[in-house]
Amino acid sequence: MSNKVTASLRHLNHRRSDVLLKRLGHTGPPAEPPRKTSGKHRFRQCVGVTEYWDGVAIMSASERAQLVIVEDNAADVLLIRKALDEKGFSYILTRFEDGEEALQALCPDAGESTVAAPDVIVLDLNVPRCEGIDLLRQIRQTPRLQDVPVAILTSSESPLDKRLAKDLGADRYILKPVALDAFFAEVGGALCELIVESERRKAR
């Protein structure tokens, strides 16, 4: 994909998420947790503290689902967090803002990774420095990540992107919804299913 097309898709995606945030009552850029550094890798991390759903305990604090998200759009990350909160899952979310940072942390060329194998990985296709498809390919070639469920969350409706993602082992290909309720229902629902699927795979 050309740099010009990628930049255009990224711009449209930011406009879409800004509209959704306004419907939530947010104005201006969303507040973000500070960057952390582990070794040479930089990331942001936040904790979802919801531990009950309809009065039933879902996860203890020590059993929060570990999610890695590779997404340069802070607004989309906030929407994902709210979608998970609505579903009632406890989680720790680690976000990388570009593909190269994620690649070096998750699939280092040498030595141990600075990020533990997560329960679920969420990739945007159009992230800076290393596109999501290339990152997905590397994830599936990394033994400790081969069984980790991966969701592609993207604004790309390209049949080629969808076919490539499936061929490379993505578990879900989710188009970013343009309606707030749909975003919470579709994205939150898919990620919760993958969290449960991750636990099933670990239990095999």
pLDDT in tens, 39-75: 555 555 555 544 433 333 444 445 678 899 999 888 8
- What structural domains does the chain harbor? 3-203 (3.40.50.2300)
Could you tell me the pTM of the whole model?
0.74
pLDDT attached to residue 20? 60
pLDDT along the chain (204 residues), means of 10: 48 57 61 54 51 40 79 88 83 87 82 79 91 94 94 93 96 91 91 90 85
What is the three-state SS of the chain?
CCHHHHHHHHHHHHHHHHHHHHHCCCCCCCCCCCEEEECCEEEEEEEECCCEECCEECCCHHHCEEEEEECCCHHHHHHHHHHHHHHCCCEEEEEECCHHHHHHHHCCCCCCCCCCCCCEEEECCCCCCCCHHHHHHHHHCCHHHCCCCEEEEECCCCHHHHHHHHHCCCCEEEECCCCHHHHHHHHHHHHHHHHHHHHHHHHC
